[in-house]
C-alpha cells in the first residue's frame, strides 16, 4: 500500500514532536542522547547531592520529565526541565518507563574496548566490552558515550560504537502481544498523539488523541500499547506518548525523607549459627528473619530502599554485615535479635542498643520511643558493645525484641500480630528520625 502524502507528513510531524522535547530541554552543546524518565511517584525530592544528608533544592511531581546524567550510590544525577541539576533516589523513579525511543542502540566495532568510570583515558576501567557487543547509549559528550553497563553506567569512546540504523518500522507490526498485569490504564501526555491500526509509525491513523485522554490498556507490542478509547475504538499508541498507571503504585504516601532512605535490615544469626533457643527448642534465627521480613515489607511500601544482610536461613559472619551497610551507603542499619536469660522465665522485655553516642543514639531513641505500645516491657535504651554496631560507619542499632526463653515473651515473638506491631513501630520511629 502506498502512503498518502498526508500520512507521511503526520509521521514526520509526530517524529519531530517526539524529539523536540528532548532537544529543547538541554543547552545547545554536544549532548545528544538522553535518558528521559517520567516521575511516577506523587512527589520526589531533588537534592544537592547523592544522599539524604544533602539539602532539598526542588520537588518533582507525578508526570514531570527529567533527564538522567549519571548514577552514584543508587542515586541519579538528573537535569530538570528548568535546566537545574540535582540528585534523586533512583528507586523512586520507575526505570522500566525510560522511553526506549530516546536511547540509541549500537554495537562495539573494536576488540576489547575498556569501559571507563569517567569520560577520560586515565579514568578507572570498570570492565571490557567485546567486539560486536550490543550497547545502549544514554548520553554523549566530547567524543565519549555513556552506556548502560552492569546495572549502572560506564563511558567508552564514541568512535568504538557503530550506531544501529533504524529498522524498517513496518517490521514491528508483526511483533507479539504480551500483557503486563500491573498496567490497568494510561493517560496521553503528548499533544495530538496518534491511535494507529498497527503498532508502527507508518500504521493507519485511527484517531488523534488530545492530552490527558484516558485509555484502557489491552496489551503491549514492543514500544507500543494496544489500547481502547472511551468511545470503544481499539488501536495502538506509542509508549512514549502515554503514561501508564499501575495497580500497585510504587509510592502511595507523600514525599517523606524515609522514602529516600536506604535501610539495611540485619536478621540476627542464620544457618549454622542458630542463636538462642526457646523452651520449645525453636531458634532465634527463625524469628529474627520473620520479623525483618515484616519490617522490610512495611518500609518498602513507604518507598524506602531496603537491603537485607540475609534473606533466608543461611550463615552470614558478623563482619560482612556492617560492611554491607557501608557499601550501600545506608542511612540506618537495624539489627534484630532476641534475648535469652541464663535460666528460663527469668527476664522479659525489649532492649534498644546503640554504640556511638552521636552517630547511633538518636536513632536508638527514635525507635525506642515507639516500643512503649508493645505488649512487652520496654527496658529502654542502652550502650551495647556489639561488633555490628562498633564496626558500623552508618547509624546503627541492635534491637533485642524480647526474651526467647521466657514463656510469655515467646508467645508474642512467634505471633504475626506482635511481629507486625514491631514493624509498624520501626516504620513510625524511622519516619520521626528522618524528619
Q: Where does this chain bind Zn ion (CB under 5 A)?
A: 268, 275, 337
Residue 222 or 275 having the CB closest to Zn ion: 275
Q: From 342, 347, 336, 352, select the one nearest 407 (Cα to Cα).
A: 347
Pick the closer one to Zn ion by CB: 275 or 303.
275
**Which is nearest to 217 in space by CA: 196, 190, 192, 242?**
242
Q: Smaller CB distance to Zn ion: residue 367 or 401? A: 401
Smallest gap from residue 95 Cβ to Zn ion (A): 37
CB of 344 to Zn ion, least distance (A): 17
Q: Report whether 51 contacts 121 (CB < 8 A).
A: no
Classify burial at 331, counting beta carbons within 10 Å of its beta carbon; exposed 0-12, middle 13-18, buried 19 or more: buried
Rank residues 92 and 289 by Cβ distance to Zn ion and give the closer one. 289
Name the E strands within 189-304.
193-196, 205-209, 214-221, 224-228, 234-238, 242-246, 262-267
Residue nearest to Zn ion according to CB distances in the complex? 337
Nearer to Zn ion, 255 or 413 (CB): 413
Whether residue 202 contacts residue 169, with contact meaning beta carbons closer than 8 Å, is answered with: yes
Nearer to Zn ion, 331 or 400 (CB): 400
DSSP assignment letter at 273: B
Query: How far apart are CB 183 and Zn ion at their closest, in Å?
Result: 44
Neighbour-count burial for 178-195, b at 16+ CB within 10 Å, e otherwise: eeeeebebbebbbeebbb
Nearest CB to Zn ion, comparing residues 86 and 268: 268
Distances (CA, A) of 188 to 79, 210, 371: 23, 7, 47
Contact of 330 with 397, CB cutoff 8 Å: no
From the list 232, 170, 239, 166, the residue with the least C-alpha distance to 198 is 170
Minimum distance between the CB of residue 404 and Zn ion, rounded to whole angstroms? 9
Nearer to Zn ion, 140 or 284 (CB): 284
Nearer to Zn ion, 403 or 434 (CB): 403
Which of 220, 419 has the CB closer to Zn ion? 419
C-alpha cell at 319: 563482619
Q: Which three cell numbers stand for residue 159?
A: 568512535
Nearest approach, Cβ of 285 to Zn ion (angstroms)? Answer: 8
**What is the sign of the dihedral through the CA atoms of 315, 318, 319 and 324?**
positive
Residues 244/183, Cβ–Cβ less than 8 Å: yes
Q: To the nearest whole angstrom, how small is the minimum distance from the Cβ of residue 156 to Zn ion? A: 48
Smallest distance from Zn ion to CB 336, Å: 9
Neighbour count for residue 236 (Cβ, 10 Å): 27
Question: Least distance from C-beta 380 to Zn ion, angstroms?
Answer: 18
Nearest approach, Cβ of 186 to Zn ion (angstroms)? 49
**CB of residue 378 vs Zn ion: minimum separation in angstroms?**
19
CA–CA dist 117, 135 (Å, integer): 16
The answer to whether the CB of 199 falls within 8 A of the CB of 185 is no
* Distance from C-alpha of 37 to C-alpha of 25, rounded to nearest angstrom: 13
Amino acid at each position: 500500500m502506498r502512503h498518502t502524502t498526508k500520512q507521511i507528513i503526520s509521521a514526520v510531524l509526530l517524529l519531530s514532536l517526539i524529539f523536540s522535547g528532548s532537544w529543547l530541554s538541554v543547552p545547545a552543546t554536544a549532548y545528544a542522547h538522553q535518558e528521559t524518565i517520567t516521575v511516577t511517584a506523587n512527589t520526589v525530592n531533588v537534592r544537592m547531592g547523592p544522599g539524604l544528608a544533602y539539602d532539598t533544592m526542588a520537588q518533582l511531581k507525578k508526570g514531570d520529565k527529567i533527564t538522567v546524567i549519571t548514577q552514584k550510590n543508587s542515586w541519579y544525577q538528573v537535569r530538570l526541565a528548568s535546566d537545574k541539576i540535582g540528585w534523586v533516589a533512583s528507586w523512586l523513579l520507575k526505570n522500566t518507563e525510560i522511553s526506549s525511543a530516546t536511547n540509541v542502540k549500537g554495537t562495539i566495532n573494536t576488540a576489547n574496548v575498556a569501559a571507563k568510570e569517567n569520560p577520560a583515558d586515565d579514568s578507572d576501567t570498570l570492565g571490557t566490552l567485546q567486539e560486536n557487543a550490543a550497547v545502549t547509549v544514554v548520553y554523549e559528550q566530547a567524543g565519549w558515550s555513556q552506556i548502560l553497563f552492569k546495572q549502572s553506567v560506564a563511558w567508552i569512546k564514541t568512535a568504538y560504537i557503530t550506531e544501529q540504523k533504524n529498522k524498517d518500522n513496518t517490521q514491528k507490526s508483526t511483533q507479539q502481544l504480551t500483557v503486563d498485569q500491573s498496567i490497568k490504564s494510561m493517560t496521553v501526555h503528548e499533544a495530538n498523539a496518534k491511535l494507529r491500526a498497527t503498532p508502527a509509525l507508518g500504521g493507519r491513523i485511527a484517531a488523534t488523541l488530545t492530552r490527558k485522554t484516558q485509555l484502557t490498556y489491552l496489551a503491549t507490542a514492543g514500544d507500543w500499547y494496544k489500547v481502547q478509547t472511551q468511545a470503544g475504538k481499539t488501536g495502538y499508541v506509542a509508549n512514549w506518548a502515554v503514561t501508564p498507571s499501575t495497580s500497585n503504585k510504587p509510592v502511595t504516601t507523600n514525599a517523606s525523607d524515609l522514602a529516600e532512605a536506604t535501610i539495611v535490615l540485619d536478621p540476627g544469626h542464620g544457618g549454622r549459627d542458630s542463636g538462642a533457643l526457646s523452651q520449645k527448642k525453636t531458634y532465634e534465627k527463625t524469628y529474627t528473619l520473620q520479623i525483618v521480613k515484616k519490617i522490610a515489607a512495611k518500609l518498602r511500601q513507604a518507598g524506602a530502599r531496603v537491603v537485607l544482610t540475609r534473606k533466608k536461613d543461611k550463615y552470614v559472619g558478623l563482619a560482612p554485615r556492617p560492611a554491607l551497610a557501608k557499601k550501600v551507603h545506608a542511612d540506618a542499619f537495624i539489627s534484630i535479635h532476641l534475648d535469652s536469660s541464663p535460666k528460663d522465665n527469668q527476664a522479659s522485655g525489649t532492649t534498644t542498643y546503640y554504640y556511638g553516642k552521636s552517630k547511633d543514639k538518636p536513632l536508638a531513641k527514635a525507635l525506642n520511643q515507639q516500643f512503649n505500645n508493645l505488649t512487652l516491657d520496654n527496658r529502654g535504651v542502652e550502650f551495647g558493645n556489639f561488633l555490628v554496631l562498633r564496626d558500623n560507619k552508618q547509624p546503627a542499632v541492635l534491637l533485642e525484641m524480647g526474651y526467647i526463653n521466657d514463656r510469655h515473651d515467646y508467645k508474642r515473638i512467634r505471633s504475626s500480630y506482635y511481629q507486625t506491631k514491631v514493624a509498624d513501630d520501626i516504620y513510625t520511629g524511622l519516619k520521626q528520625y528522618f524528619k
